[in-house]
Structure 1
Amino acid sequence: MMSWNVYSNHRLFVGIVFGVFVFLSVLIAVQPAARIQNDNAPLPTAVALTDEQQAGLRVFIGEGCVACHTQQVRNIEMDKAWGGRPAVAADYAWRQRLDVWRATPSTLGSERTGPDLTEVGERQPSDLWHLLHLYQPRSVVKESIMPAFPWLFRDSVAGTPAGLALHIPAAYREPGGHTVVPTRRAQQLVAYLMSLKQAELPTGEAAPAFLYVQPPKAAVAAGLVADDAGLALDGNALYASNCQACHQASGEGLKGAFPPLKGSPVVNNTDATLMVNIILQGYDARAEYGVMPPFATRLTDAEIAAIVSHERSSWGNTGKPVTADFVKKLRALVKPVAAL
């Protein structure tokens, strides 16, 4: 006869413990996860990852990038630098298991040793910049503590497409080394990074607000440009967050990769039309430099005016500041960019 005394019937004891474990697992983990998955779907404007980008996601996980980078914009003002709006659950609804053996990759991260990557494809849309950053981070960000990933690159061999060659600054080239080209895995990783952009919310749906917003400055100080609301915009700060990674804090750029702004005839020209048009529409007319993306959809007229005014008055440049109205008129005209 079976004993119902849990102290003497070890099978009953183990069965009860196992049953409680299964019940709590379903209650605490499985059921909430299923409800969240059913209640949220990818945003209608979200673009699914291509096979190349999916392969890059695997490289991203395999190389341990998740240990230092997050992909989550919190709803506090200090996170404004990483995305145009706080993240919502639908931003992560596309994430699926890599295969039957492995769980859904946790790319949201828990430690922000390096910058958040939520919109890195928007902030840094140059594949050349990303490749240089992977090969030697300090070649583009002098203060970077990120380790280099030289094993994702190799010396050029016969038949390598010339367009894949990296223009590495002289200070970071190996003595007598060959031309360096990215491997397939490096290209896949960059394709994944370039895909990281926040999808637009459906029309009529308000974006969550950032909390703990600092009070606006009372007046427009010298060197600052006012936006439409009369708030002061700091051209130096805008330059640092949008331009500095390529053109450097010194304005000297990177030889063979990104052009200098210091002493540039375009920046110092009495007429700032060409300079503003380049920022609005992007630029790709000189093979020795990486492609500059357009900023028309990323920056307002006032923000572009603040950046241009900062660049024209810094590093010994002598150009005069421009106004938001000047940028607005050029945006409406959409003039083609002439060759330098």
Structure 2
Amino acid sequence: MEFYNNHKVLFWTALVFFLFLTLQIAILPAFTNQTVYKPLPDAKPLTKDEAAGKAIYVENGCIACHTQQVREVEMDKVFGSRPSIPADYAQNHRMDVWRNTANLLGSERTGPDLTAIGERQPSSDWHLLHLYQPRAVVKESIMPSYSFLFEEKDYLQKGDIEVKVPPEFLKDKFKKIVPTRKALQLVAYLQSLKQTKLPEGVKPPDFLYKKEIKKTAGGGGAADLPDGGELYTANCASCHQASGEGLPGAFPPLKGSPIVASDDIDVYVNIIMGGYTGRPGYGPMPAVGKNANFTAEIVTAIMNHERSSWGNNAKPVKLEDVKAVMDKIK
């Protein structure tokens, strides 16, 4: 067999075969993908600060613990309203001839998926505090502190944003914690992570292995509502804490709150849906309900959970009353 005895023929045959496979398996499919997959119509490109924040995200190895891919399984439903599709990543382009732009899909979930963290947690105050000291907002967190992205100052200067850090997490309680530009850019990137809505009439892929959704009795037993405790944990506990006690100087308590206990639910519903900026000593609350497309059933379930937990003993609100307030908001 002359073929196996001639090293030149063997080498060039293997090289040509390798190049052919590379062309067929890697290069041509990549060109096809660029042609077929386009960004969704409502997809927004990253701003200058958001793009800089993405580079900081890569620089600090956040991809080691966080994914950005919602899989087609029911357990991933907490991370996005639908499974991820190729079009979600179609806005990424090469940085130059030599460098590609990572999709940051990740493969580990030591921390939660961040595909839609900008929707799940739109509060910049929360993100800044979480970066400075993760255990201030999530007691069990194993995420390292990124305090090097912040400065300690004796006095605030014009344009400074103070991070409201609980006293027990401060080395010097008289110091003011101020984010650097890098910290603000990283938060801007995290807040930009949202799932773009599919075009009207396009059905998203189904989540597989669906589990039974818990129901609780609605106000007066007239309707079945989602589980308010689960909804509170998913949407509210990161700021107001599982105990409902909030964080002093950062997020107000719901335990013993007169707004939560009030029979006049208009303000209560408006705060959940549209946010609130008027409480002295606390940062603005984002429009959690609006951002997450809360239905009247979700709002009612959360309100009833808050009104009956942590020693709160207010009477349940009725679904029809919440619907009436939400109709006025629209």
Specify the code of the residue in structure 1 equivalent to 2:142.
I
Residue 16 (structure 1) aligns with: 13
Q: Is residue 130 of structure 2 the alignment partner of residue 149 of structure 1?
A: no
Contact kept, 8 Å, 2:307 with 2:314, in 1: the verdict is yes
The alignment status of 1:172 with 2:169, answered yes or no, reads yes
* Equivalent position of 2:302 in the other structure: 307
**Paired residue type of 2:203:** A
Question: CA–CA distance in 2 between the matches of 1:326 and 1:147?
Answer: 44
Residue 178 of structure 2: aligned partner: 181
> Which residue of structure 1 aligns with residue 324 of structure 2?
329
Instruction: Single out whichever of 127-136 and 23-32 deviates more from structure 2.
Output: 23-32
Aligned to 1:278: 271
Residue 53 of structure 1: aligned partner: 50
Correspondence list, 1:99-138, <5 A: 99-138=96-135
Which residue in 1 is equivalent to 2:91?
94
Distance across 2 between alignment mates of 1:202 and 1:247: 35
As a proportion of its length, which structure holds more helix?
A: 2
1:137-286 to structure 2, matched below 5 A, reads 137-156=134-153, 160-161=157-158, 163-175=160-172, 178-216=175-213, 220-222=215-217, 232-286=225-279
Partner of 1:338: none
Q: 1:16-55 residue pairs with structure 2 within 5 A?
A: 16-55=13-52
Runs (5+) with no aligned partner, structure 1: 336-340
Distance apart, 1:54 and its partner CA? 0.5
In the alignment, structure 2 segments of 5+ residues that lack a partner are none
Cα drift, residue 5 of structure 1? 4.3
| Alignment partners' CA distance in 2, 1:165 and 1:247 | 19
* TM-score (normalised: structure 1): 0.90
State whether residues 273 and 330 of structure 1, in contact with CA within 8 Å, keep that contact through their aligned partners in structure 2. Answer: yes
SS in 2 for 1:258: coil
Q: 1:158 to 1:97 in 2, by over 3 A?
A: farther
Aligned to 2:76: 79
Normalised to the residue count of structure 2, the TM-score between the two structures is 0.93
Question: Which amino acid is the alignment partner of residue 180 of structure 2?
Answer: T
Please list the CA deviations of residues 143-177 of structure 1 after superposition, one character each: whole Å capped at 9, or x if unmatched. 11111111111122767336511110011001356
- Contact 2:218/2:319 (<8 A) preserved: no
Identity %, equivalent residues: 50
